[in-house]
Amino acid sequence: MPGSGGLTGAGTRGQTAAGSGTGTSGRTAADAAMAEVLLTEEATRAHGFAGLIALVNLAVLISLPWLGGYPPIKAVCGGGLLLMFLLSSYVWGVTREDTARYTVGLHRVYGWSIATAVIPVELYFGVFSPVPVVLTLGIYYLAQSYDRTHAFAIPAYVIGVYLAMAICTAFGVMPDHGLFPAHGVDLRDVLFASAAVVGVLAATTGMARVSRASLRDAIRRSNEALLMAQAREAQLAEVHHQLDRALRIAVGKPGRYTGQQAGDYVLGDVLGVGAIGEVYEAEHVRTGGAAAVKLLQQDASAREDLVERFLREGAISSKLDSPNVVRVYDVGRMADGAPYLTMERLRGRDLASRLRQEGLLSLREMIRLAEELGEGLRHAHNAGVVHRDLKPLNVFEAKEGDVTRWKILDFGISKLATSSGTLTQQGVVGTPGYMSPEQARGIDVDARSDVFAMGVVLYRAMTGRPAFPGDNTPQIMFDIVYKTPPRPSLVAKGLPSDVDLVMALALAKDPEHRIESAAALARAFKHACRRKLDAELRTRGHAAIRNYPWGRALAPGMRPGQESDQS
């Protein structure tokens, strides 16, 4: 702000904003934005204050003929009330039509006018009447002004005039003709009352300036946070662009296995590249049917654990036959020993790619996503398979003619329900941010682990943010075990409250408190989106929220239902 702290040379807000960007003013664009916000806020306050003052003065003017008092002072008081009523009505009308018309010049004229016009009102009612209490309202408004010099000067003028009148009245220099005279009151009591009123008015001025400083600081911090968020959003968009570009570099081009044969299929160009694998377009040597062949990348093929996991994915996926699970035709090895997996050729994009581009899905699309994920998981669970790595990257939106269908991919770390062990020998497996609490703790899992992961996927797709967005893996895993995300309806506006209840059941930390199956979650989610959730599920949902409050954490070792002060 300038040396005076206000807009000492400004005539209108438009001139202020225009001048704030010049080199002579020394203001930055952020200062100009701050000035604009503060002036708009001041105009809004002026509208409310002027309307209130106009009503109060009108009420007193109407009542004045029925009041007593010294006639000459009463007449001057009426003039002061009329002036304040007319000025306040004008300011109220101006700010009602357009807050931009409330200029610094108008604010100064209005402030000094009402500060002067109130003097005969004080004299009429009495220096020691209730009127000085009403002064605190005007002082609080005036002292909050953006025009810093006058924000101090006008309250100081009001306080000084009052103090002078109080002293003159107390010592008999000025006759006390007020409706509430101080005759018969001990001088010490009068002086104490005067000092108390002055102290209150001065404190009101100080509080108003503190409030103004707090508002200015809050706006500044909000602007900084907005700029930081915009910068991070731009950086994230750049990362997404680079990621998409990196993923496309090899797509549509020959790879190291192009032209070779994998079982009954001849490999064509690369369709996609992942962290450890690459997918080729393929054609059946006899029928010409299309397929996709997934192979481990060269360095990954040297790791026996990854090879075993890869072959395991093929063996498990080949047992599944559902329109919502990618179909696997064959598993084998190339001539050089590299393992391959032949599966149906999918055309479309994965959920992760779509969310990177669109942020979130509509409720209508969410219902379809939930239903088709629920069906795919239901089929896998009925076959005794727990996926254990459900996430947006493993959910593919495939286009089959005129039909679009969500399919579940990558059963590489899945678990057979009839198996007592897994490839990782009870280690922590899965993707941080999408694994279940029992997974994060490294204990045995069942189909309810996939229910939790499905809930996290739905949360991400409907809110536009991850449920567990920690900065590092240990923090994410801690939050998964002990903390619940913010309430979905607070993150994404417009979600029915029933959706919160269903998500609370899906994301329950204890599997025993969780909704029982993926199919049940899909049904409940559909009904919740249509505000038709079953009463029993509503009751269970409220109980789940009591056990695991939204946005709150349970201290390690606490039983569900015992709330921690940690948030």
Q: Do domains 261-343 and 348-547 have the same CATH topology?
A: no
Residue type at 237 in one-letter notation: A
Q: How far apart are CA 239 and CA 15, in angstroms?
A: 41
Q: How far apart are CA 19 and CA 11, in angstroms?
A: 11
CB 47 within 8 A of CB 95: yes
Instruction: Catalytic residue, from 389, 450, 498, 500: name it.
Output: 389
CA distances from 411 to 104, 278, 313, 460, 544 (A): 68, 16, 5, 21, 30
CA distances from 2 to 7, 106, 147, 277, 383 (A): 8, 20, 11, 62, 74
567 residues of the chain, pLDDT tens digit each: 333 333 333 333 443 333 333 333 334 555 666 667 777 788 888 889 999 999 999 999 999 999 888 899 889 999 999 999 999 999 999 888 777 788 888 889 999 999 999 999 988 888 878 787 788 888 888 888 878 889 999 999 999 999 998 888 888 888 888 888 877 778 888 788 888 888 989 999 899 888 888 888 887 777 677 666 656 665 565 566 556 555 555 566 888 889 999 999 999 998 877 666 788 999 999 999 999 998 877 666 667 777 777 777 777 777 888 999 998 888 888 888 888 889 999 999 999 989 988 989 999 999 999 999 999 999 999 988 888 889 998 999 999 888 999 999 887 655 554 443 333 434 455 678 899 999 988 888 899 999 999 999 999 999 999 999 877 888 888 889 999 999 999 888 889 999 999 999 999 999 999 999 999 999 999 999 999 999 999 999 999 998 888 888 765 455 444 443 333
Topology of domain 261-343 in CATH is Phosphorylase Kinase; domain 1 (3.30.200)
Q: How far apart are CA 457 and CA 409, in angstroms?
A: 14
DSSP state of 282: E
Q: How many residues appear in the chain?
A: 567
CATH 1.10.510.10 holds for 348-547: yes
DSSP state of 335: T
Phi/psi class of residue 508: alpha, beta or left (left: φ > 0; alpha: ψ in -120 to 50)? beta
Sketch the domain layout of the chain as residue ranges: 13-228, 261-343, 348-547
Residue type at 324 in one-letter notation: N
Q: How far apart are CA 23 and CA 29, in angstroms?
A: 11
Q: How far apart are CA 39 and CA 29, in angstroms?
A: 15
CB 322 within 8 A of CB 337: no
| Strands 290-296 vs 277-284: parallel, antiparallel or unpaired | antiparallel
The beta-strand segments (E) located in 409-490 are 415-416
* pTM passes above 0.85: no
276 CB-near residues (< 8 Å, 6+ apart): 296, 297, 300, 306
Q: What phi and psi values does residue 183 have, to the nearest 5 degrees?
A: -60, 135
Query: Is 389 known to be catalytic?
Result: yes
